[in-house]
Amino acid sequence: MLVRDAMSTVVLTIGPAHTLRQAARLMAARRVGAAVVLDSDAGGLGILTERDILNSVGAGQNPDLEPAGTHTTTDVVFAAPSWTLEEAAEAMTHGGFRHLIVLDDGGPVGIVSVRDIIRCWAPARRHPATLAG
């Protein structure tokens, strides 16, 4: 199975000036665990995850004042839609992260997470038939 088969095509993009609270609200509303941070001034893409927000709040920082750009990972490993899920899982394991931005033609087309991969690999749930007595 390929990354294109597992990835979410809901790509939340934010700017580096968004506050962490704004980012968290947008992520919660779209039910995603990461946002792509587009920073045209810095010339690239980054990723802000739930963990980045949690670490900031846990350190006592004010999410209404902290800009997303300060907490964005810019040394990002990108996946291609044609990668196998094994390649994506290996990259995540090697890098110690749970999300990969999927690029095609130089732009983000999706995000694949550990959860997406597990969902594809896990056997289909079977519901036992209920018997009327």
Give SS3 for 104. Answer: strand
Q: Are 41 and 17 in contact (CB under 8 A)?
A: no
pLDDT tens for each residue of 78-127: 999 999 999 999 999 999 999 999 999 988 999 999 999 999 998 755 55
* Nearest CA-CA partner of 34 in 96, 88, 114, 94: 114
pLDDT at 131 over 50: no
Q: Indicate the pTM of the whole model.
A: 0.84
Instruction: Please tell me the predicted confidence (pLDDT) of residue 125.
Output: 56
Instruction: Please tell me the predicted confidence (pLDDT) of residue 74.
Output: 87
